[in-house]
Amino acid sequence: MNKPELWRDAGADVAADGAGSVDFASMSEDELMAYEAKYCSWGDTVHYMEVPKIFERCEGSFLFDGEGTPFLDLQMWHSAVNFGYANPRLNEATRRQLDRLPQVSSKFLHREKIELATRLGQRIERTWGMAGRAHFNVGGAQANEDALKLVRNATGGKSRMFAFEGGYHGRTLGTTAITSSYRYRRKFGAFADRAQFVPFPYCFRCPYGKKRDDCDLYCVDQFARLFDSEYHAVWDAKVEECEFAAFFAEPIQGTGGYIIPPQGYFEKLKEVLEARKILLVDDEVQMGFYRAGKFWAMENFNVKPDVIVFGKSLTNGLNPLSGLWAREELISPDVWGAGMTHSTYSSNPMGTAVALENIKMMEEGDYETMTREKGAYFLEGLKELQRRYPGYVGHVDGMGLALRMELCEADGFTPNPKLANELNQGGFRGGIEVGGKRYGLVLDVGGYYKNTVVFAPNLSITTAEIDLGLGLIDRLMAAATRT
């Protein structure tokens, strides 16, 4: 039913008189899929899957389908649910807000918004000694849109940006211009100036063919070279001005395949940016909130961003609240005044209340130690898989609980997207037996060559769940590599 070539017939057997007279609550998956095929747009990402999955319930690290099969989720909604499904404390905060002030126009104030902005601001003051303000919106792409407006405004309307090859910042018209994949722009024409894309330090596949041991961060030297002469197209040497307002960067590439840059990279890059008065926009939408072992992933790399963009796990996936924080001189009311951006839901109280509780929870717990220890345990398990499947597991790496496993041909280097896809689809098919029980496994495949399994498990994942996950991957690998 879900195969693209059959989609035109797929909705043929839905009730002629529409949804009003049918009981969706008791429908089988096949019946539901018939309505989905007829009434849901297929333009989102659901139909990336060969067989889309319907889930009914979630708890902790697991999703459950209609038959009650537990699916261990090692991706947690692309890192939007860092604190576990149905987190009792965050759900309770949502209920409390529902009873007190469930809705109020974003034109008016409410105390949760003010406290949330204050806590974020004070945290950044403590971490980096910088003063600034937070500005909210809904969704990571919209927050990046706001960041685009903010840096354009702060630089006198400069519309050109640097961004990374492999970078992802959203799929609105504006953010696809700074997201590297042409695939997301191809059908829609140009809206914003396309970014100048700079190679990311993807050391396993160094774009310059160097080895990290002795490269001396040659990639940053190549970026710095752009400013040597006006003939390199970005710099007016006479007035010492760059055509570009900002560099949009993920501290660790998310969609690009959880690629962790080498230490020293961002420090050296930031020196170039500061010298050329180019702002650093740190997109923490996927890596923020302890995913990579620190509140902000960029803290791992010893540089101070000018703008921070966040979303996803801010609310643990309970509300699409997102936002940005910017240094005071970029966002003070005299430069970023009333109405610079607006969205009806931009600081909705359900979102700010759960985000606030989440930030308090992060302040109370030692997430740094937790993510470091669990991440090290998980990575050790991935290294064991690398030993068990020599060549096929070409590269593993991790920082906190952001981990990667790059699948290759037997030579250990040639990308093997087919194997990655088999693991992904096999996990979703479920029915994988471990310890006499049947499980499904939620994985995500990304990376430049679609051969990288990226892991963003629940930060509270237990070691037993990590073992279960590794066991499930082992079963899938064994089946997929059996000759």
Ligand X SMILES: Cc1ncc(COP(=O)(O)O)c(C=O)c1O
- Binding residues for ligand X, per CB under 6 A? 78, 139-141, 144, 168-170, 250, 254-255, 283, 285-286, 311
Smallest separation, CB 305 to ligand X (Å):
13
The least distance separating ligand X from the CB of residue 470, rounded to whole angstroms, comes to 25
The residues with which 196 forms a beta bridge, in sequence order, are 162
Residue 372 C-beta: closest distance to ligand X, Å: 22
C-beta of residue 444 within 8 angstroms of C-beta of residue 390: no
Q: Which is nearer to ligand X, 322 or 460 (CB)?
A: 322
Which residue number, 160 or 169, has a Cβ lying nearer to ligand X?
169
Angle between the 367-388 and 463-481 helix axes, to the nearest 10 degrees?
20
293: closest CA among 200, 395, 381, 373? 373
- Return the number of the residue (162 or 235) whose C-beta is nearest ligand X: 162
**Beta pairing, strands 70-73 & 437-442:** parallel
Which residue, 256 or 381, is less far from ligand X as judged by CB? Answer: 256
User: C-beta of 191: minimal distance to ligand X in Å?
Assistant: 16
Closest residue to ligand X, based on beta-carbon distance: 140
Q: How far is the CB of 285 from ligand X (least distance, A)?
A: 3
CB of 112 within 8 A of CB of 118?
Answer: no
Q: Quote the CA–CA distance of 315 and 232 in Å, as a whole number.
A: 43
CB-CB contact of 417 with 424 (8 Å)? no
Compute the distance between CA of residue 52 and CA of residue 1 in angstroms, rounded to an integer.
10
Q: 154 or 321, CB closer to ligand X?
A: 321
Report strand pairing: 244-249 vs 279-283: parallel
Torsion (CA) 445, 449, 452, 457 in degrees, nearest 10: -40
Tell me whether residue 138 or residue 408 sits nearer to ligand X (CB atom): 138
Spatial contact of 249 and 164, defined as CB atoms under 8 Å apart: yes
Smallest separation, CB 434 to ligand X (Å): 30
